[in-house]
């Protein structure tokens, strides 16, 4: 587990409680207003918000810079590597057709009332390594086609797919939000992963198939014809793997021929194959599934070992090594390179291109996460976290409820789940010192649940869903926004239930 730089023993300022509260409120308000009203990128908004917080709290400017830089460095060093490795796994799954193979195999074997449940399960499975937006791009064409072919209401199978992706994105590492909360609170990643999966299963069921069956009656929607996946005529060179109806960066259809001779020169793009065409085949289903589950299983085995094996035993030491998040994800990347890349007929150059192409899309996420780590560190070093912890202790307010409420407020105001997670984790971080390890993991999950509350017009995901499903703003609120709220509330109730038994 990666830990943050230790906060100084003494706060960086002698400001009183009232001034610290005002500083925190103005710092957070600056971030909210800059993002929601000023349309400033969250990376810059978090930097400016940290500056406002520090200045109002009377922290010397040089110490503001030092504190912010320390938070950025520790966050990137811990969380950044995991996000990058997770993105590489997702990139190989997407480009090789492995993710498409999972979707088509499962959906092709079910029909009727089982379809919404199958879509939820598939979305949850491929949502483990894939970012939400990537999962939406991969799943939506399948959802649209299935809706047309079997005459099932679009929302009835679309909501379960979105629920599976959203729940995993908000609650289960290696996604950025959960990783940030784990890092900021000092939670055990293996325990958080295990407890997150326990919370995720009923949450996906209720917010997915159950809610989807209900809301489909009130939100009639048909698949937009212009978004239905099609293939460009390539003569006798037909695609040999699923998913070739995707669009490239220029909006053109990506075909098998594009992968061999793209001629784009874009960083991270597919690479020309000077030696001619290679025999290529869709990766085996088992290889795609193992790629998804291998890092998860390794991290879970480490968590189980911590509970059942002695510290000095050989088995415990081995599990501690292979279950380290960086090693577990690295193992997943190497496995994917071999079985989704080379064994599927892609050259070393092409596999390298897929890996490189998966990194540019996460640059913005990494910068936001890094700046959020700096903002959080200024909060902690100024003494705001201790102030909140003392106030919560005096009011007998549950740390889980406090973390959830703070995340809900920031999420609704900014539309950013990542910003909500970062800010809430920074505010309640001192409370984690008073909790047992399982409760710290639950606190991270409570914050994650709060960060998903009521996505609306200030959230990019809102518009992504609206356009892909051809919905009006009102229909998107009735379906997507309500689904996100159900995920937040049901997930938090699951966290509270686990807290009773742990």
Q: What is the pLDDT along the chain (502 residues), one digit of tens a residue?
A: 333 333 444 667 777 888 888 988 898 888 888 887 888 888 898 899 999 999 999 999 999 999 999 888 877 877 778 778 888 888 888 888 887 787 777 777 887 788 899 889 888 887 776 667 667 766 776 777 677 767 788 999 999 999 999 998 889 887 778 888 998 899 988 889 999 999 999 999 999 999 999 999 999 887 666 555 443 343 433 333 334 444 443 333 333 333 333 333 333 444 444 444 456 778 888 998 898 888 878 877 887 887 788 888 888 889 989 988 888 889 989 999 999 999 888 999 999 999 998 888 778 878 887 887 788 788 778 887 677 666 665 667 788 999 999 888 888 876 778 778 888 888 888 888 888 989 999 999 999 999 999 988 667 678 778 877 888 888 988 999 999 999 999 999 999 999 999 8
Here the tokens at position 182 are: 């784990």
Instruction: Please name the residue ranges forming H helices in 383-481.
Output: 384-394, 399-414, 417-432, 437-450, 460-469, 473-476
Residues ≥6 apart with Cβ < 8 Å to 92: 98, 291, 333, 336, 337, 340, 341, 351, 354, 355, 358
**Helix 437-450 vs helix 176-185: crossing angle, to nearest 10:** 140
What is the rounded distance in angstroms from the CA atom of residue 226 to the CA atom of residue 285?
30
Can you say whether residue 415 is alpha, beta or left, with left for phi > 0 and alpha for psi between -120 and 50 degrees? Answer: left
Here the tokens at position 192 are: 């958080």
Going by the DSSP 8-state scheme, the letter that residue 254 receives in this structure is P
**Helix 81-96 vs helix 98-108: crossing angle, to nearest 10:** 60
């Amino acid at each position: 587990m990666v830990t943050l730089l230790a906060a100084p023993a003494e706060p960086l300022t002698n400001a009183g409680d009232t001034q610290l509260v005002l500083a925190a409120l103005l710092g957070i308000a600056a971030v909210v207003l800059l993002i929601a009203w000023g349309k400033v990128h969250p990376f810059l908004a978090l930097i400016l918000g940290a500056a406002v917080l520090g200045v109002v709290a009377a922290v010397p400017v040089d110490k503001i810079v030092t504190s912010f830089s320390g938070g950025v460095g520790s966050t990137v060093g811990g969380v950044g590597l995991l996000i990058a490795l997770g993105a590489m796994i997702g990139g190989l799954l997407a480009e090789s057709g492995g993710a498409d193979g999972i979707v088509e195999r499962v959906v092709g074997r079910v029909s009727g009332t089982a379809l919404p449940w199958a879509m939820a399960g598939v979305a949850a499975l491929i949502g483990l390594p894939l970012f939400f937006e990537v999962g939406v791009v991969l799943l939506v064409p399948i959802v649209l086609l299935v809706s047309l072919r079997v005459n099932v209401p679009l929302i009835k199978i679309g909501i379960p797919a979105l629920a599976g992706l959203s729940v995993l994105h908000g609650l289960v590492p290696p996604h950025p939000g959960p990783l940030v909360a784990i890092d900021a609170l000092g939670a055990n990643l293996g325990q958080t992963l295990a407890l997150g999966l326990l919370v995720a299963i009923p949450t996906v069921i209720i917010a997915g198939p159950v809610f989807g069956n209900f809301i489909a009656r009130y939100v009639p929607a048909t698949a937009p014809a212009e978004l239905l996946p099609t293939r460009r005529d390539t003569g006798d060179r037909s695609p040999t793997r699923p998913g070739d109806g995707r669009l490239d960066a220029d909006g053109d259809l990506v075909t098998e021929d594009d992968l061999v001779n793209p001629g784009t020169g874009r960083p991270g793009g597919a690479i020309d194959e000077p030696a001619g065409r290679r025999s290529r085949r869709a990766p085996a289903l088992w290889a795609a599934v193992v790629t998804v589950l291998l890092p998860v299983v390794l991290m879970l085995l480490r968590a189980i070992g911590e509970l059942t094996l002695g510290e000095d035993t050989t088995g415990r030491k081995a599990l501690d090594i292979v279950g380290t998040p960086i090693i577990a994800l690295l193992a997943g990347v190497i496995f994917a390179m071999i079985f989704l890349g080379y064994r599927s007929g892609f050259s070393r150059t092409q596999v390298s291109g897929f890996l490189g192409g998966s990194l540019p899309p996460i640059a913005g996420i990494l910068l936001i996460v890094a700046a959020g780590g700096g903002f959080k560190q200024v909060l902690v070093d100024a003494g705001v976290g201790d102030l909140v912890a003392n106030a919560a202790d005096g009011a007998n307010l549950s740390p889980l409820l406090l973390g959830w409420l703070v995340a809900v407020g920031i999420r609704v105001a900014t539309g950013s789940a990542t910003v909500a997670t970062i800010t809430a984790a920074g505010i309640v971080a001192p409370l984690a010192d008073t909790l047992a390890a399982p409760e710290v993991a639950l606190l991270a999950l409570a914050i994650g649940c709060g960060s998903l509350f009521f996505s609306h017009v200030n959230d990019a995901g809102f518009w992504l869903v609206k356009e892909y499903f051809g919905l009006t703003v009102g229909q998107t609120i009735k379906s997507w926004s309500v689904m996100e709220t159900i995920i937040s509330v049901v997930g938090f109730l699951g966290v509270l239930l686990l807290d009773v038994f742990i």
